Amino acid sequence: MKKSLKIKFKIQKIMYLKQMVYFAKFPSQQLYYKKLLKNEINKLKNLTNNRDGEKVNSNNQREFTIEELAQYDGSNGKPAYVGINGIVYDLSNEITWGGGTHFGLYSGKDLTNEFMQCHGKEEILNNLPKIGVLKK
């Protein structure tokens, strides 16, 4: 199905679910439709952000295998992603990670041990964009 059509149907479904939330008689009903609405909005975001086809888990988090993460090593203008404690962070805009490297380290890997040895401070991670999770 053409993408524009997919998006059109998604928007129609969102409009319908908004109505159902609005006209719901019972709180349980409203909660049910709100959950459906949230899922549809996330799917629309994925469609419009060209994320359709990317693997996402049941929490709608983008999932990376170690092999997929290795593609994002920051070289040749590619994004620089790093896995820490099962979460994938985007370091592409991090000054200290120019070109995807950082004090001898390369992005596109799980660097949990290195992070714990060198920093181990959650604050640093709290400031970084989380873009997905590492597939277990």
Q: Rounded to 5, what percent of the chain is helix, strand, coil?
A: 50, 20, 30
**Of the residues 77, 96, 126, 136, which one makes contact with ligand HEM according to CB under 6 A:** 96
Contact code string over 6-45 relative to ligand HEM, x by CB under 6 A: ----------------------------------------
Contact range with ligand HEM by CB under 6 A, out of 18-26, 29-37, 66-74, 102-110: 102-110
Beta pairing, strands 130-134 & 87-90: antiparallel
Minimal distance in Å, beta carbon 55 to ligand HEM?
22
Minimal distance in Å, beta carbon 132 to ligand HEM?
14
What CA–CA distance (Å, rounded) separates 68 from 91? 16
Question: Is residue 66 close enough to count as binding ligand HEM by CB under 6 A?
Answer: no
**Of the residues 17, 94, 100, 132, which one makes contact with ligand HEM according to CB under 6 A:** 94
* Interaction site with ligand HEM (CB under 6 A): 82, 84, 89, 94, 96, 102-103, 105, 111, 114-115, 118-119, 124, 128
